[in-house]
Amino acid sequence: DLSPSKPAYDIDEQIAKFERHAETYPTLWYMERVGGKLAMAGFANHQDHRTLLDTVYDGDEQMGEWLQKNLGDSSVVWLHELFADRTVRPTGNLRQFEAMCTGFLHELGASTLAYCTINPRMIAAAQRSFGDQVTVYEPHTDSPDWRYVVQIDVI
């Protein structure tokens, strides 16, 4: 049976995670409303490879080496979460992706935004919006991550 038996995210755990990030790192929230209802929300932080290793990769040594090699001592805006409520807006939730990313970069004072994803739409949105400024790292091939790592450099 492929029917979901429980929610994908525990609400209390997510709230605690969001609060920890907001208290620890420069953080921005993004929200889109449709008819007064929340259609999409997400947040991003300004971090470096050391803090990403702790917050995203739980100290995984292979990812630590990869992050050091690919990011060096640069800091990036890391898009941690992006949720869409498809009951509010069934399609088109990534239409404002470029504006969201550009806003995060501008407000947090960085030229690189990155995230990990398993969602092909998140990769396509980056490529559509930023073209050759996007690097997509394949899971287990280009990076040790089991997800795609997407890096957008807007120098």
Instruction: State the residue for tokens 């930023």.
Output: 130
Distance CA 28, CA 22 (A): 8
Please, what are the averages of pLDDT over each run of 10 residues along the chain (155 residues)?
66 76 83 94 90 90 93 88 93 96 95 96 97 97 96 92
Tell me the C-alpha to C-alpha distance, in Å, between residue 78 and each of 28, 33, 51, 61: 10, 23, 10, 19
* pLDDT of 3: 64
Provide the 10 A C-beta neighbour count for residue 93: 20
pLDDT in tens, 81-126: 899 999 999 999 999 999 999 999 999 999 999 999 999 999 999 9
pLDDT, residue 2, reads 65
- Using the structure block, give the residue that is written with the tokens 């929300």: 41
Q: How many residues does the chain have?
A: 155
Strand 112-117 relative to strand 134-137: parallel, antiparallel, unpaired? unpaired
**Predicted local confidence at residue 86, as pLDDT:** 93
pTM of the model: 0.87
